[in-house]
């Protein structure tokens, strides 16, 4: 038990986990594509670039689960729902990472709308960190993003998280870091997506990402991706019908091991 606690604390304090840097980034589809989320437009935009909600026309619910490196204390669960509103699309999502020893949880409200060739989105997050024996720390963050269609084949997107940089600790005025993610998406056919992106956390080196998706038989998707800092490669599959989507992603860190993520989304009302 003592060894497990030590491992958990070492990982939490020494390794730049995605959840610790950007709590709300989650999606098995996006993960399989190297987390190239700046231009993706699906329900999981609730937890990535909120502008990706702007063209959605249905009412849907979604949920997901991730296990990192086979350690139960590093599990993440996520859920959300979105719906068109009189002007735009709105949604609510919840994410929790960790266990009773240490956990992060976040409740978010998202809104997006489409204007001409561009979609814009904003997200308000209420986050809480808990460390056993040290209590809770709560704060509010704001994220903003946009996606523009330059042509039928080329999209550009960008989003920034934690614009307001709330204070985490008075010691050395530690604050939640700002993260900027921007990228291009080339879609030569309706079945192929090629994404390239750059992500910059003000506390870490520039992280370059590449993501690929190929859809065949109209209901199966094969995906792959990679990022540079740290180097991680990704792969995954997607299965979908007119109402149901099931996604699986696998990533491998050469030092820590495998991470598995699964996501399900279901359209409960088609509005068009």
What digits encode the pLDDT tens for the residues 20-37? Answer: 344 568 999 999 999 999
Is pLDDT at 230 greater than 90 in this prediction? no
Q: State residue 10's pLDDT score.
A: 36
Q: State residue 272's pLDDT score.
A: 64
Q: State residue 256's pLDDT score.
A: 82
**81 within a domain of the structure (yes/no):** yes
Domain range for 208 is 20-269
**4 within a domain of the structure (yes/no):** no
Contact partners, residue 252, CB within 8 Å, separation at least 6: 232, 233, 258, 259
What is the rounded CA–CA span in Å between residue 210 and residue 208?
7
Worst-scoring range by mean pLDDT, 69-78, 81-90, 112-121, 142-151?
69-78
**13 within a domain of the structure (yes/no):** no
Q: State residue 130's pLDDT score.
A: 86
Q: State residue 96's pLDDT score.
A: 95
Which token pair is 251?
């990533």
**15 within a domain of the structure (yes/no):** no
What is the rounded CA–CA span in Å between residue 130 and residue 148?
38
Mean pLDDT of 253-257: 82
**68 within a domain of the structure (yes/no):** yes
Q: What is the CATH number of the domain that holds 242?
A: 2.40.160.40
Contact partners, residue 187, CB within 8 Å, separation at least 6: 152, 153, 154, 155, 193, 194
**173 within a domain of the structure (yes/no):** yes
**200 within a domain of the structure (yes/no):** yes
What is the rounded CA–CA span in Å between residue 103 and residue 50?
24
Q: State residue 222's pLDDT score.
A: 98
What is the number of domains present in the chain?
1
Is pLDDT at 7 greater than 70 in this prediction? no
**61 within a domain of the structure (yes/no):** yes
93 CB burial (10 A radius; 0-12, 13-18, 19+): buried
């Amino acid at each position: 038990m003592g060894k497990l606690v030590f491992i958990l604390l070492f990982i939490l304090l020494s390794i730049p986990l995605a959840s610790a840097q950007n709590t709300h980034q989650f999606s098995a589809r996006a993960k399989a594509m190297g987390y190239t989320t700046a231009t993706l437009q699906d329900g999981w935009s609730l937890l990535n670039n909120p502008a990706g909600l702007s063209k959605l026309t249905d009412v849907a619910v979604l949920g997901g689960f991730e296990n990192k490196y086979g350690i139960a204390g590093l599990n993440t669960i996520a859920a959300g729902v979105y719906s068109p509103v009189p002007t735009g699309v709105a949604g609510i999502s919840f994410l929790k990472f960790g266990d009773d020893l240490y956990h992060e949880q976040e409740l978010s409200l998202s809104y997006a709308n489409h204007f001409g060739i561009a979609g814009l989105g904003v997200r308000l997050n209420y986050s809480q960190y808990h460390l056993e024996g040290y209590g809770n720390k709560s704060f509010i963050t704001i994220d903003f993003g946009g996606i523009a269609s330059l042509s039928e084949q080329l999209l550009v997107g960008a989003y920034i998280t934690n614009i307001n940089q709330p204070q985490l600790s008075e010691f050395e005025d530690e604050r939640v870091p700002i993260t900027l993610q921007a990228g291009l998406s080339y879609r030569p056919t309706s079945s192929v997506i090629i994404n390239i992106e750059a992500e910059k956390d003000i506390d870490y080196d520039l992280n370059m990402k590449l993501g690929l998706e190929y859809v065949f038989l109209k209901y199966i998707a094969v995906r792959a991706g990679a990022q540079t800092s740290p180097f991680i490669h990704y792969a995954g599959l997607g299965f979908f019908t007119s109402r149901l989507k099931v996604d699986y992603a696998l990533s491998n860190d050469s030092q820590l091991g495998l991470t598995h993520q699964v996501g399900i989304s279901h359209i409960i009302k088609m509005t068009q």
